Amino acid sequence: MRVLVCVKRVPAPGAKINITADGQAVDTAYLAFTTSPHEECAVEAAVQLVEQHGGESTVLTLGPAEADEQLRYAASIGVDKAVLLPIDGNEWDPQRTSAAIAAAIRDLEATDGVFDLVLFGNESADSGNFQIGVRVAYALSRPMVNGIKGIEVDGTVVHAKRESDAGVEVYHLPLPAVLGVKEGINLPRYPTLKGRLASKKVDVAQVAPQGEAGGQQMVTLLQAAEQVSQTVILGHGPEAAPAVVDLLEELGLLK
């Protein structure tokens, strides 16, 4: 089977996120970058599906030239092909991003055949717009379910599981289909040395992204109001136990 996984390069923040002076971006001067967490799991899912069913996996991203790093990371754990839709400057809005990805998928499919499954992350860690996968699926006239924590391909159908407050929902989608994956579906593997070396040689195809600006435009980023709390130190080491249990009692948590 042919599997495409779409990822986004995002900063890997620690305890606080700082904003650049012009308010247009996260200050990444001291930050590393990573693949958005749900998508890391989508990449692993794509590799596992090809291991189980044969075929070929492809990773695609729309982002700056540096997103080459995230494409090669995916390749280092077993993805076969990589496609970069390069953009300059600030990130694209959701409608524009979706249109560009859908157009690129049509182009790739025109030469190499239809992707049986296109995987996205449930939402990106940074902008969290919750819609790229849904819009791309609609543009391609394919079924789509988000929030997926289990994938099983059986012939021409994919069985997908999603958690809800009540339990687990099961969906049966005919292929070709699109799924939004949530972290927890698997535990992504670490790249092997051999994988890392091989990923350096992967040819990253470039497709010029095309899409018109949509109706949602960022003005500026803002810091969320800091939760200010004066931490009460209950004590040091095991000697603090009585003070902790006093607190449990006060909060009505002692049975």
Partner 1 sequence: MSTLVVVEHDRGTLSPASLEALAAARTLGDEVHALTLGAAADGLAVTLAAHGAATVHQAHHDLLADYGPEAWGEAVAQAIRALQPVAVLACGTDRGNEVMAQAAARLDLPFVANCNEITPGADHWSIVRVRWGGSLLEECTLVAPTKLVTVTHHAFEAVEMAGAGSTNTLAVDLDATLARTVVADRVERAAGVTLATAPLVVGGGRGVGSAEAFAPLEALAALLGGVVGCSRAVTNNGWRNHTDQVGQTGTRIAPDLYVACGISGAIQHWVGAMASKKILAINTDTEANMVVKADYAVIGDLHKVIPAIADEVRRRSAS
Nearer to partner 1, 208 or 254 (CB): 254
Handedness of CA 130, 133, 137, 139 (dihedral sign): positive
Shortest distance in whole angstroms from residue 138 CB to partner 1 = 4
Burial label for 208, CB within 10 Å (0-12, 13-18, 19+), is exposed
Interface positions, 72-131, toward partner 1 (CB under 8 A) = 93-95, 98, 123, 125-131
Question: Which residue of 147, 191, 209, 211 would you call a contact of partner 1, by CB under 8 A?
Answer: 147
Stretch that binds partner 1, among 46-54, 59-67, 159-167, 201-209 (CB under 8 A): 159-167
168 is a site residue for partner 1 (CB under 8 A): yes
d(CA 33, CA 56): 26
Selected binder of partner 1 within 66, 112, 169, 206 (CB under 8 A): 169
Q: Is the CB of residue 60 less than 8 Å from the CB of residue 144?
A: no
DSSP β-bridge partners for residue 120 = 180
When the beta carbons of 89 and 167 are compared against partner 1, the nearer one is 167
Q: Report how far residue 7's alpha carbon sits from residue 2's, in angstroms, rounded to the nearest whole number.
A: 17
Residue of the chain from 9, 38, 72, 81 that contacts partner 1 (CB under 8 A): 38
Q: Which stretch binds partner 1 (CB under 8 A): 58-66, 103-111, 139-147, 196-204?
A: 139-147
DSSP state of 69: H
21 three-class SS: coil
Rg of the Cα atoms in the chain: 21
- Distance in Å, CB of 111 to partner 1, minimum: 26
